[in-house]
A = this chain, B = another copy of it.
Amino acid sequence: MNTQLKKGLLDICVLAELREKESYGYAIINDLAPLIEISESTLYPILKRLLTKKAITSKSKIHNNRVRKYYQITDIGRQEIDEFVGEWGQVEKIISFIKGDEIDG
C-alpha cells in the first residue's frame, strides 16, 4: 500500500489491535499483516510515540525464558480511536469528490 496513505493510519491500527487484548511487537506485526503491512522499523517508533502520549502502557513479561514487552491500550488510546473515527467523515467527503461526485453533493 501507498506509503503516504499509511501515515496517520498505522498508529490507529496498532491501537485498534490492542483494543481487545494486550499484545507485543512481533505479534502485532503478524496480526496486522493481512490487513496492512507494517515493518519492525515502523512499528517500534510507533509504540514509542504511543507510550510518550500515554495512549498505551507496557509491561515486560517472561515467556519461554525470553523477555516479551506487552502493550496495553489506555483510556487516552481508546479516545484517540474515537476521535479518528469522528474525523473520518471528512475524509469520506474528500473521497466522494475524488470519485467524481460534486463538492456540495
Given A8-B2, A8-B4, A13–B94 Cβ distance below 8 Å?
Answer: yes
Query: A88 near B: Cβ within 8 Å?
Result: yes
Q: Restricting to A75-96, which residues have a CB under 8 Å from any CB of B?
A: 81, 84-85, 87-88, 90-91, 93-95
Counting every copy of the chain, the complex holds: 2
List residues of chain B with CB within 8 A of the CB of A9.
5, 91, 94
Chain A binding surface SS class: helix
Nearest opposing residue in chain B for A12, CB measure: B98
State the A residues within 8 Å of B (CB): 1-5, 7-9, 12-13, 16, 19, 34-36, 81, 84-85, 87-88, 90-91, 93-95, 97-100, 103
